[in-house]
Chain A
């Protein structure tokens, strides 16, 4: 049997899986330009990019995990923990190392903590064969408890001014540094996913773990590596987040795991694993960002915004399931 998608017959399911997210972005963008006063303009658009940077970096990380058919629901607590650690390291070392040295050290320590959390997630999940959902649900509480213990529940402040550079700074007074960070993470992740052996193995394990194992792939190692990447991204997101806030907030990051997962799903990544693209996830995050920004500009009640956020992920998952069924039917 020859693939029927080449036969020229139009199939909505397949069309949607390929171009749906992009089309959705265009529609939402145009609608916002037309109906939301103050939406279209350099300042507001840059603002949206800055706002979504943290979510995008988180989403890129969790994308690896979701492609495997796993999940991480602890991202919100992870960024609070790692972000606050970065602040505390900064405060603790800037006197001796100077502001520049302290920033470097704090970034390095945060990344190491991210690697550690990711490695632990991956290890426990593969070693004891427990669902990632349960593992990371546990980590959600542990990480939140840990950050409250470390900070005594109080915001961490007193960092040198350069700490704000990553989250609030601009290059040439135009391009936000956080957007640059986002682009760098995108490029690195894109190469990992599409150009490296690891990426091929990742999709294979997510698509059919048994077949991957029977092709000589160490599937558990792939899972562990994916969670480490997820942890590194959480660390970067954590620093960006606190840097943007200017203080270390132990209670910050609530619902960020939700936003990141929504970005992946809206971007066409299947929660069943085996498929997903970084570009899709980026578009998904932008869509969610625009919707949130538009609601703010329109002055919509924050509680309503929360309801909308919940509906978006539900609709996205339903679309994913329905289009897949339609695409399967066409074959």
Chain B
């Protein structure tokens, strides 16, 4: 039995992926005409939850009720027909078609065998007008901004008579001014009795539109309650409130040396809006500098630019006090900067080639004798690296594609370690790697720091950031929000900065 006053209700929902309980007993009660916000860190399970609701995934345990009736296995199409629509983070409109055609795509009004265009445009215009969306039904989708696409998507959901609309971080892709348009629409939908399930990390948004809040953490339901019961501090505490055990200990006795690298006012301006602005920091020998922030805060983009993969519009980089110009990755490599990319398969390895070719790739000049490659010395160095990093592999001639994630990551490390690296940038170095290999990589990081290497680590796992970093830089929406020393760093402080909440003194 369930309470019919909720339009959507979930009880004890569990979703298991191989090796991980992505959702572990989630409860949710969504009321008509309310904005219900789902809060949680990166990887807390928000998106999985939405996908269970919209039918992409099937829950392994638990019950789900829609308008008082239990619903079980169903497809995404079934779910839409029932009245639950989802607006994805990344929309896929047909840009060359009109607004009306997009709204009624696949369910155009027909007159015999032909599409009834007159009715199509009349219906669409009526719909837009009723929602006070200021577009003409005959406008092409391509004329609209991203926020416009979202509004059309909302109109589409309404036209399907949705009573629950799920919005997955709708504000992440649109500019501030457009967010107002979106919010106006959300308030109008509430008036109509539509329930909105809204995922976001942004504190200011949460407290402007939320009626109810549900917090999940590590796949577990933490609590739900009316929005007025929360403030940013409390919300963050609940989002991150796990016990910190020192799973990732940096050896704190490692001496911190001179400044190795200094960034000064790094800014990227692009036609689609740059991804970071005015970033300045100093990095010391033996130091691990953590970069924390939400996914999309611009951390990876910043590091890619420092390494020469993307352009920097203004600002300076100094290495050992000397200004360096990095126009291409080859400049960075020559200067002694190494980067381990978050996308290991995309940017780290040539999967179809063997280990020794991968390891020698970035430092091939070291192995050239009289203009020719000295394969014997490559084999020797490969063997040394396999031993030192404990890479589990039958031999140097094994293709990189056949290794496990942890071992692949070690090959990427080896690629840089055979050269002289002053600054090592690690972007999510342990993502998708099993616990054992994870701790090995952390130990290696300490070892490198002890040898005097300066390390930058981006991580979206707060325990990893807190455990490994000497200092933590927090970024939000392309800007530096603060630098916190190891002793003062807490999950709450970092999350508050990362969500734009600001530290209360």
* Stretch in B149-157, B213-221, B352-360 with 4+ CB within 8 Å of A: B352-360
Q: What is the minimal beta-carbon distance from A331 to any residue of chain B, in angstroms?
A: 6
Give B337-349 as 1s and 0s: 1 = Cβ < 8 Å from A's Cβ atoms: 0010101001111
Q: Which single member of B333, B352, B365, B371 contacts A275 (CB below 8 Å)?
A: B352
Question: Residue A1 contacts which of B339, B346, B350, B403 (CB distance < 8 angstroms)?
Answer: B403
Cβ of A212 within 8 Å of any chain B Cβ, yes or no, is yes
Q: Which residue of B lies closest to A205 (CB)?
A: B350
Q: Are the C-beta atoms of B329 and A216 separated by less than 8 Å?
A: yes
Complex interface: chain B residues within 8 A of A211 (CB): 346-350, 361
Chain B CB within 8 A of A20 CB: no
CB distance from B450 to the nearest CB of A (A): 26
Asked whether B357 lies within 8 Å of A204 as measured between CB atoms, the reply is yes
Minimum CB–CB distance for A2 against chain B, Å: 5
User: Are A212 and B350 within 8 A (Cβ)?
Assistant: yes
Compute how far the CA of A3 lies from the CA of B309 in the bound complex, rounded to whole angstroms: 32
* A195:B372 contact, CB within 8 angstroms: yes
- A208 to chain B minimum Cβ distance, whole angstroms, is 4
Given A4-B402, A210-B346, A191 contacting B334 (CB threshold 8 A): no
Indicate whether B82 reaches chain A with its CB closer than 8 angstroms: no
Q: Is the CB of A213 within 8 A of B352?
A: no
Contacts of A213 in B (CB 8 A): 309, 329, 347
**B368 neighbours in A (Cβ, 8 Å):** 197
Q: Is B188 an interface residue (CB 8 A)?
A: no
For A214, list chain B residues within 8 Å (CB): 307, 309, 329, 339, 341, 347-348
**A218 x B328 contact (CB < 8 A):** yes
Closest to A328 in B: B401
Nearest A residue to B392 by beta-carbon distance? A2
> Which residue from chain A places its CB closest to the CB of B403 in the assembled complex?
A1
Cα distance A214–B407 in the bound complex, in angstroms: 19
B399 located at the interface, meaning its Cβ lies under 8 Å from any Cβ of chain A in the complex: yes
Q: Contact check, A203 vs B350: say whether CB atoms are below 8 A apart.
A: yes
Check A196 for interface membership: any CB of B closer than 8 A.
Answer: yes
In the assembled complex, the Cα of A197 lies from the Cα of B365 at a distance in Å of: 7
CB atoms of B347 and A3 under 8 A apart: no
Knowing A3-B398, A197-B365, A214-B339, say if A274 contacts B332 (CB, 8 Å): no
Shortest distance between the CB of B385 and any CB in chain A (Å): 15
Q: Contacts of A218 on B, CB cut-off 8 Å? A: 328, 330
Q: How many A-B residue pairs have CB under 8 A?
A: 98
Q: Let me know if A18 is at the binding interface, CB within 8 A.
A: no
- Contact A208 B351, beta carbon cutoff 8 Å: yes
Q: Which interface residue of A203, A207, A275 has the most chain B CB atoms within 10 A?
A: A207
Interface residues of A in 63-117 (CB under 8 A from B): none
Known contacts A204-B353, A275-B352; A191 and B372 CB within 8 A of each other: yes
Q: How many angstroms between the C-alpha atoms of A4 and B371 in the bound complex? A: 35
Q: What separation, in Å, do the CA atoms of A103 and B349 have in the docked complex? A: 48
Given contacts A196-B372, A210-B347, A214-B347, contact A331 B353 (CB under 8 A): no
Q: How far is the CA of A218 from the CA of B362 in the complex (A)?
A: 11
Are A216 and B353 neighbours in the complex by a CB distance under 8 Å?
Answer: no
Partner of A2, one of B348, B349, B393: B393
Say whether B1 faces chain A, with CB atoms less than 8 Å apart.
Answer: no
B364 touches A201 (CB 8 A): yes
Nearest B residue to A199, CB-CB: B373
Best-buried of A1, A2, A191, A214 by chain B (most CB within 10 Å): A214
Query: Are B361 and A207 within 8 A (Cβ)?
Result: no
Collect the chain B residues with CB atoms within 8 Å of residue A195's CB. 372-373
* B402, A215: Cβ atoms closer than 8 Å: no
In the bound complex, what is the Cα–Cα distance between A301 and B307 (angstroms)?
Answer: 61
* A200 touches B (CB below 8 Å): yes
- Check B404 for interface membership: any CB of A closer than 8 A: yes
* 0 or 1 for each of A206-235: is its CB under 8 Å from B? (1 = yes): 011011111111100000000000000000
| A215 and B332 within 8 A (CB) | no
C-alpha gap A2/B407 in the complex (Å): 10
Contacts of B307 in A (CB 8 A): 214
Q: Given contacts A6-B394, A215-B415, are A208 and B328 in contact (CB under 8 A)?
A: no
Q: How far is the CA of A210 from the CA of B373 in the complex (A)?
A: 23
**A1 touching B372, Cβ below 8 Å:** no
With A201-B364, A210-B347, A214-B347 in contact, is A1–B402 under 8 Å at CB? yes
> Taking CB as reference atom, which chain B residue is nearest A274?
B352
Q: Considering the complex, give the chain A residue whose CB is closest to the CB of B304.
A: A214
Interchain CB contact under 8 A, A200 and B403:
no
With beta carbons under 8 angstroms apart, the residue of B347, B353, B365, B393 that contacts A274 is B353
Question: Is the beta-carbon distance between A215 and B333 smaller than 8 angstroms?
Answer: yes
Chain A residues with CB under 8 A of B347 = 210-211, 213-214
Give the chain A neighbours of B365 by CB distance below 8 A: 197
Q: Which B residues touch A4, using CB under 8 A? A: 402
A264 CB to closest chain B CB, in angstroms? 17
A210 to B348, CA, bound (A): 8
Interface-centre pick from B333, B362, B392 (highest chain A CB count, 10 A): B362
- Could you tell me the distance between the alpha carbons of A97 and B362 in the complex, rounded to whole angstroms? 49
Tell me the minimal C-beta distance from B413 to chain A in angstroms: 13
Q: Are B352 and A200 in contact (CB under 8 A)?
A: no
| Chain B residue with Cβ nearest A273 | B352
User: Contacts A2-B393, A6-B394, A216-B330 hold; do A200 and B361 have CB atoms under 8 A apart?
Assistant: yes
Q: Given the complex of chains A and B, what is the CA–CA distance between A62 and B129 in angstroms?
A: 60
| A195 to B333 Cα, complex, angstroms | 22
- The interface centre, meaning the residue of A203, A211, A274 with most chain B CB atoms within 10 A of its CB, is A211
Q: Which residues of A contact B343 (CB under 8 A)?
A: 210
- Residues B361 and A3 in contact, CB atoms below 8 Å apart: no
Interface digits, B418-429 against A, CB 8 Å rule (1 contact, 0 not)? 000000000000
Query: A4-B402, A196-B373 are known contacts. Are A216 and B333 too (CB-CB below 8 A)?
Result: yes
CB distance from B412 to the nearest CB of A (A): 9
Interface string of A178-204 (1 = CB under 8 A from B): 000000000000010011110111011
Contacts of B341 in A (CB 8 A): 214
Give Cα A194–Cα B374 distance, bound, in whole angstroms.
11
Which A residue's beta carbon lies closest to that of B330? A216
A253 to chain B, nearest CB (A): 33
**Among residues 310 to 328 in chain B, which have CB atoms less than 8 Å away from a CB atom of chain A?**
328
Q: Which residues of B contact A194 (CB under 8 A)?
A: 373
Known contacts A1-B407, A200-B357, A216-B334; 20 additional CB pairs below 8 A are: A1-B402, A2-B393, A2-B402, A191-B372, A200-B364, A201-B364, A204-B350, A204-B357, A207-B350, A208-B351, A208-B352, A211-B346, A211-B347, A213-B309, A216-B330, A216-B332, A216-B333, A216-B362, A274-B350, A331-B401
Interface residues of B (CB under 8 A from A): 307, 309, 328-330, 332-334, 339, 341, 343, 346-353, 357, 360-362, 364-365, 368, 371-373, 392-395, 398-399, 401-404, 407, 415
9 tightest A-B CB contacts, nearest first = A216-B333, A207-B350, A215-B362, A3-B398, A216-B330, A214-B347, A208-B350, A195-B372, A216-B329
Could you give 17 example pairs across A and B, Cβ below 8 Å?
A: A1-B403, A2-B393, A2-B402, A3-B395, A4-B402, A196-B372, A197-B368, A200-B357, A200-B364, A203-B350, A208-B351, A211-B349, A211-B361, A215-B333, A216-B334, A275-B352, A331-B402
